[in-house]
Structure 1
């Protein structure tokens, strides 16, 4: 998801389209999350667009990220994430019933080496967005780290995922 230099991890508001030629194949991760074959393959063929509104509550100082994820040819999903590391239930037709929490973290707070690699200097300096989601029914946990990377000489909004 190409990004201008004027946008950084402090505010990721915008419309982001996933570039599947630069991204890893999601089929194995979706299969491990018990996503059915038809839906998994439909997602694999769809254009994924994230419309993100990133705000900060002026009274509490807590950041909120509202994401409308649309998939060409499929119904989209909506997520509301507060960066306060509080468990919140969520349910949608892709991932089912999950409990997730999100926060802002520094590189030193990320345990997994793969999740630490490849980020731009400004992302490392300003901190990452970390998301942690659990699906008890299908027994999976996903940790994501969001930020910006240089890919083929181009600045891109990116997410690394550990399942």
Structure 2
């Protein structure tokens, strides 16, 4: 596995990985209605690209294929997205991406909004769940957790 910087040409493949992961991996903790609202097939690639370029974005690649990605607002210490390909779960991909992102945070804490599926992963990394909350997507409510790690 190779970790590298984001390139705008990666965006469409990342959107497909996001969709596929949410619709398979996250389906164990959320209903079909919830995953359909969370990950539609209509990602605004221009907005995603702008966000990825504004953040520190790390790509995990294997054999020329993107197998994971994550991004961090370095100044705010906000870990925005972290997704691993559905066929590469539990291989250390997310941990490697988090290690790379946490190491460049300009804050003493890193905050994320973790899904039900990701909560345990973040707890094992030393994040504490500060509060449970409901996020609304297209009129559908999804539970997630505000989690913070002191670094």
User: If the length of structure 1 is used for normalisation, what is the TM-score?
Assistant: 0.28
| Structure with the largest fraction of helix | 2
Query: TM-score of the superposition, structure 2-length normalised?
Result: 0.30
Q: Please tell me whether Structure 1 or Structure 2 has the larger radius of gyration of its CA atoms.
A: 1
